[in-house]
Amino acid sequence: MPRVLLHLCCGPCSITVVRDLRAEGFEVTGLFYNPNIHPLREYLRRREAAQQAAERMDLPVIFKDADYDPVLWLRAVAHREANRCFHCYHLRLEYARAIAANGNFDYFSTTLLYSRHQRHDTIRDLGRDVAGPDAASDMGPLAGDGPDAASGAPAPDAAAPPKKKARRAPGFLYRDFRSGWAEGIETSKAWGLYRQQYCACLLSEFERYQGELKRLS
Ligand code: SF4
């Protein structure tokens, strides 16, 4: 069964994504790494919701709390505020890829692909770039697995010792999970999960609530 490390942005976004990946036959492990969530108490609320969702789904999750470093995020987007989401995605996808490689996962992916509010195509392209050209294909069975019937290569010598298969770099598993949007919202409400009102960073919080400032002037 192919193993996928799934970056979790929050609990509600994980529900239908985990279900759909399991339905495809993947063994799913979550990864909670989000230094873009500000402030810290908001991070803790979303972490708790991710944990509650994971318990409901019996999903193992790697929580990287020691690597929650908002300075890292600030440096990644500094002077690039207009295109900050690209660099924010890159920071988290590159981290997920590294953890997936260390853990011998076949794939990595992200629940950001579930959101209707994120730049879906940018995340897809970036994930594939981060994975690199030598990564496993995200379109079907793992490349290099099983006999290559089309190659016409001679059958291996049964007496020869088995060769150890070179492990491929983890591929970026792209799927469009947005069709589960409404169902994910309904289920997260039924489960009583915390649902955030802004994307995550302090700039997105400002954009969400700046109307309150404007009303004062
Ligand atoms: S708006 Fe969201 S995706 Fe964009 S930089 Fe902020 S936290 Fe990251």
pLDDT tens for 84-94 read 999 999 999 99
Number of domains in the chain: 1
Q: Which residues of the chain have pLDDT under 50?
A: 141-156
Instruction: Evaluate whether 57 touches 28 at the Cβ level (below 8 Å).
Output: no
Q: Is the CB of 204 under 6 A from ligand 1?
A: yes
* Sign of the torsion angle spanned by Cα atoms 203, 207, 208, 210: positive
202 inside domain? yes
CATH number at residue 41: 3.40.50.620
What's the 28 CA to ligand 1 centre distance in angstroms? 25
pLDDT for position 165? 59
pLDDT for position 155? 46
13 inside domain? yes
pLDDT for position 153? 41
Q: Is the CB of 200 under 6 A from ligand 1?
A: yes
Q: What is the 3-state secondary structure (H, E, C) of 69-101?
A: CHHHHHHHHCCCHHHHHHHHHHHHHHHHHHHHH
Closest residue by Cα to atom 2, ligand 1, is 199
91 inside domain? yes
Q: Is the CB of 37 under 6 A from ligand 1?
A: no
What's the 217 CA to ligand 1 centre distance in angstroms? 27
pLDDT for position 56? 98
The domain of 121 spans 3-142+168-216
155 inside domain? no
pLDDT for position 201? 98
pTM: 0.89
Choice from 75, 93, 199 to test ligand 1 binding pocket (greatest atom count within 8 A of CB): 199
**Strands of the sheet with 3-7, listed across from one edge:** 61-63, 27-32, 3-7, 107-110, 171-172
